[in-house]
Amino acid sequence: MPLKITGAVDPELLDLPWSVPLETWPKDTLAALPRGISRHVVRFVRFRGRVLAVKETVAPIAQREFDMLKELGRMGAPCVVPFAVVDGRVDKKGEELPAALVTEHLQFSLPYRALFSQALRDDTLGRLIDALAVLLVRLHLLGFYWGDVSLSNALFRRDAEAFSAYLVDAETGDLHHGLTPGQRHYDIDLARTNIIGEMFDLQAAAELDETVDPLAVGDRIEERYKELWETLTAKQTYRENVRMHVAERVQALNELGFDVAELDMTQTSDGSELTIRPKVVDAGHHSRRLLRLTGLDVQENQARRLLNDMDEYRALMGNEEDEVLAAHEWLADVFEPTVRAVPREFRRKLEPAQVFHEILDHRWFLAEKDPAVTMPAAVASYVKNVLPARPDEQSVLGQEISVGDDESGTPREAPTVTTMIHAWQSLPRTGQLD
């Protein structure tokens, strides 16, 4: 069978060394080693100014995962973007090689193992678990049964003071019209078990503080999931003041970041009681509002933070009536100058919206000493005192550490994720991709 590429429209993809097993791809094609724990061989590849993730697997599974990720993307699920399926690979001797699923590397995403070391300082671990619970609820609302929920099968992006999680491994998943409570519980149980396992692994590698209780971390995902699911989908019955209650319910969901697209309302025959249940809820309440007003496409908590700043600015300017005009003024006078003040060499460290969020925090911190501190002063102080110490997070992939053949010709063992993370942390922080 000839080499066959489906999905991508870039013929340059044919130039990658498909006749070589992924494990031994030449260093100059690789961006770095994979970071998560995986069953398959996964490598990152530089490709036309971006990074692609290549995973070797069998053809029908690669195609199925490709289709699933495409469909999930269409539905607005947070997941990696599929790029191509490559099949019909043979090596130089004509032996068959596995098919490959190619996905786009999610920029500014971090595998959890690159993050958990901060766990005890500011409850990073807890925030990762919460983000995973939100992701699971969102996927379940769309009818996606994951089948292998774990921290390794997700990627995390900073999202203001929280994280947001993205699905990366959809291989075991399935799309349905809706999930039964049994299917959902199966996913939650698996999430709990997998996470507890991941915590024990970290402990065994002496990478998790002993005071962290793996069981409690596992319980947290279950609790957070159940709380959020209940809030989003529970039935409520009202006898009076129905309009107000409905408005309150919708507002509470908006504040959580969800829009109610459809609501089921059932009235008793005598009209004395009304039961409401949100039927379709869409995540992204704040990010949609920000996008509509400014064209900025950012994550939910970042959007919430930016909108707050915009609303404050509007109040300060006395421009309460015209939301759209005020949004444009805020963009031109506050957001853009702030983001532009970040020197080019630092732009790979954090996304612009995240930088803006951190500068707002920094201004608060400075305001303790000088309540009149201005935004430009806060920006200057942040760029000078905070940002230089931050690592580049645009493409956290790990640093390649001598895999491949040693002198004896036998492949050396691949480095562990931990050594890769340590190597990454000690790297100079410039120009990995340029």
Ligand X SMILES: Nc1ncnc2c1ncn2[C@@H]1O[C@H](COP(=O)(O)OP(=O)(O)O)[C@@H](O)[C@H]1O
The residue (of 55 and 363) whose beta carbon lies closer to ligand X is 55
**What order do you get walking across the sheet with 109-110 strand by strand?**
109-110, 154-159, 162-167
329 binds, among ligand X, Mg ion, none (CB under 5 to 8 A by kind): none
Residue 137 contact among ligand X, Mg ion, none, beta carbon within 5 to 8 Å by kind? none
Give the x/- contact pattern for Mg ion in 351-390, rule: CB under 5 A.
----------------------------------------
DSSP letter (8 states) at residue 174: E
Contact between 57 and Mg ion per CB under 5 A: no
Q: How far is the CB of 38 from Mg ion (least distance, A)?
A: 5
The distance of closest approach from Cβ of residue 82 to ligand X in the complex, given in angstroms and rounded to an integer, is: 9
Unique residue bearing structure tokens 């409690």: 216
| Residue 103 touches which of ligand X, Mg ion, none (Cβ within 5-8 Å per kind) | ligand X
What are φ and ψ of residue 265, in 5° steps?
A: -125, 130
Round to whole Å and give the CA distance between 101 and 99: 7
User: Which residue number, 159 or 169, has a Cβ lying nearer to Mg ion?
Assistant: 169
CB closest to ligand X, residue no: 36
First to last CA, the chain: 36
166 versus 200: smaller Cβ distance to ligand X? 166
Nearest to 341 by CA among 379, 392, 298: 379
Give me the helices (H) in 17-58, please.
Answer: none
Question: C-alpha distances in angstroms, 66 versus 34, 57, 102, 150, 326?
Answer: 19, 12, 8, 20, 42
d(CA 422, CA 222): 31
Rank residues 38 and 180 by Cβ distance to ligand X and give the closer one.
38
Q: How far apart are CA 10 and CA 27, in angstroms?
A: 22
Nearer to ligand X, 34 or 78 (CB): 34
Angle in degrees, CA 224, 228, 231, rounded to 5: 145
Q: Classify burial at 376, counting beta carbons within 10 Å of its beta carbon; exposed 0-12, middle 13-18, buried 19 or more.
A: exposed
Residues 16-45 that bind Mg ion (CB under 5 A): 38
Nearest-approach distance from CB 8 to ligand X, in angstroms: 14
Count of C-beta atoms within a 10 Å radius of residue 396: 21
Q: Taking the complex as a whole, how short is the minimal distance between the CB of residue 27 and ligand X, in angstroms? A: 18
Under DSSP, the state recorded for 333 is: I
Compare residues 198 and 358 and give the one whose CB is closer to Mg ion. 198
Which residues in the 140-159 window bind Mg ion by CB under 5 A? 153
Q: Choose the stretch contacting Mg ion; rule: CB under 5 A; options: 163-171, 230-238, 271-279, 311-319.
A: 163-171
- Cα separation of 208 and 415, whole Å? 19
Say how far apart CA 351 and CA 300 lie, in whole Å: 14
Report the candidate in 83, 63, 85 with the shortest Cα–Cα distance to residue 73.
83
| C-beta of 88 vs 147, nearer to Mg ion | 147
To ligand X, the closest distance from the beta carbon of 349 in angstroms equals 18
155 binds, among Mg ion, ligand X, none (CB under 5 to 8 A by kind): ligand X
CB nearer Mg ion, residue 57 or residue 153: 153
Contacting residues toward ligand X, per CB under 6 A: 34-36, 38-40, 42, 53, 55, 80, 103-106, 109, 111, 152-153, 155, 168-169, 171
Cβ-closest position to Mg ion: 169
153 or 299, CB closer to Mg ion? Answer: 153
Chain CA centroid to CA 78, Å = 7
* Least distance CB 155 / ligand X (angstroms): 5
Least spacing, CB of residue 103 vs Mg ion, in Å: 12
Q: How far is the CB of 328 from Mg ion (least distance, A)?
A: 43
Q: Closest approach of Cβ 42 to Mg ion, in Å?
A: 8
Q: How far apart are CA 284 and CA 255, in angstroms?
A: 10
Q: Is 169 near Mg ion (CB under 5 A)?
A: yes
Q: 263 exposed, middle or buried (CB, 10 Å; 0-12, 13-18, 19+)? A: middle
- Residues within the interface to Mg ion (CB under 5 A): 38, 153, 169
